[in-house]
Structure 1
Amino acid sequence: MIKADFRNFCKKHLMSLSKKSNFEDKKTVAMLKREILHLKSKNILLYCPMEIEVNIYPLIYWLKKQRGVRIFIPYIEGVSFKMIPFRLPLVKNKYSIFESKKSLFYLTKIDTAIVPCIGIDRDFKRIGFGKGMYDRFFANLRFRPNIIFVSRKVIYSKQKITDKYDIDADIVLSNGCKLKRGINDRILSDRFYNIWSDCRY
């Protein structure tokens, strides 16, 4: 119940930001570019954003121009998804999420996964929309790519509310802020002020 309450809190807060987040999204996209270049990623799993998620279409179009980079996005199948190459045109699925048309494709070992989240807990684990699709997808991989969570704002639960199967991140990027996990599960920020002042649950 606590997890569901936190998820609803996150959704409500992010919906209030969705119409004024263009500038902040640009900052997050710029940070993603730097991380991808730093990691030298060539095979990257991205996502097609919904209204309350960071708009990463500018990142996708930038990556399309980079030599040797392959972009993949989720294609939902049942309770999980498969990874398919990003191709236009995009079509809306039953969840109103854009995706490329299904194609025959053999799984490539991705270097980096950019994963949307609406919140994290003290274990640096993801709170999503509650379908568990990303958790199932990563559980079936035989390798672990670099995982970067992105959100329009870091909304943090000081309690442990996630489950063992929930995925965790290497870093979290949000609104010009970069977070990573420190010693003893401390969460470290590149900002000098208290990032939790108005987004702690």
Structure 2
Amino acid sequence: MRKAELRKIYLEKRKQLSEHDFKHFNQQIAHRFGMLDLSEVKVLHIFLPIIERHEINTYLIIEWLEANHPKIQIVVPKSNFSALTLEHFIYNNAHLKIEKNNWNIPEPVSGDKVSPQEIDMVVVPLLAFDKKGYRIGYGKGFYDRFLAECRLDVQIVGLSQFEPIETMDDINEYDVPLQQCICPQSTYSFTPLSP
């Protein structure tokens, strides 16, 4: 199946989640995130969720990081919809102000920016992923552009409410694969592709 078709299917699957399952999945994913090796991570980039769209509640992960890894600097994105790019702001900072944009995405209004080159781990949003680690996002390419600006050794972790699909038919050279993806029941690891 192609990404556009899968995107529609998984948006609908996500919408159909009961509140009980949604909360349960969030807790399981946050618990599994706590098992990751973060020993090399000093700067961690994580998206803020649109909860009413059943995006994974990353605030649970942020709270866990603040309690258990206070030295890790948390960074969150701000979308530029005209350029389809992201800017990155320090989250654990008194100067940060979060507001919802026109698409209901919570994001920083102002604050201290961080360069993609400083980031050690990126937690990426997705709708679905396949068994090779390729993800389907919302289709605008924000994260593929952002990941292309990061260091080659950046760790890329996906969060998914659903298990992987077999494969996608329209992967291209701009698609950046995940190294790991956390689901409620399991964590998947992917072998990096050789250049």
| Range of TM-score over shorter length | 0.7 to 0.9
Whole-angstrom CA distance in 2 between matches of 1:41 and 1:126: 23
Question: Which residue of the partner structure matches residue 59 of structure 2?
Answer: 57
Shift of 1:157: 4.2
Displacement of 1:36: 4.5
Instruction: Give the 3 Å change call, closer, same or farther, for CA 46–159 of structure 1 in structure 2.
Output: closer
Provide closer, same or farther for how the CA distance between residues 132 and 159 of structure 1 changes in structure 2, counting only shifts above 3 A: closer
Query: Within 2, Cα distance between the matches of 1:178 and 1:117?
Result: 15
Q: CA deviation at 1:155?
A: 4.3
Could you list the structure 1 runs, at least 4 aligned residues long, displaced by more than 4 angstroms after superposition: none
Looking at structure 2, the residues matched to 36 and 122 of structure 1 have their Cα atoms a distance apart, in angstroms, of: 22
**1:45 matched residue in structure 2:** 45
Alpha-carbon distance between aligned partners in 1 of 2:146 and 2:191, rounded to the nearest angstrom: 26
Q: Distance in 2 between matches of 1:111 and 1:8?
A: 32
**Structure 2 gap segments, 5+ residues each:** none
**Equivalent residue pairs, number:** 183
Give the structure 2 partner of residue 35 of structure 1. Answer: 36
Q: Pairwise CA RMSD of aligned residues?
A: 2.3
Partner residue, 1:198:
none
Give the TM-score taking structure 1 as reference length: 0.81
Q: TM-score, normalised by structure 2?
A: 0.83
Per-residue CA distance 1:1-22 (angstroms, 9 max, x = gap): 8221111111111111162311
Identity among equivalent positions (%) equals 23
User: Residues 165 and 23 (structure 1 numbering): CA distance in 2 closer, same or farther, change over 3 Å?
Assistant: same
Q: Distance in 1 between matches of 2:29 and 2:170?
A: 26
Alignment check: 8 A CA contact 1:75 1:102 kept: no
CA distance in 2, matches of 1:69, 1:121: 30
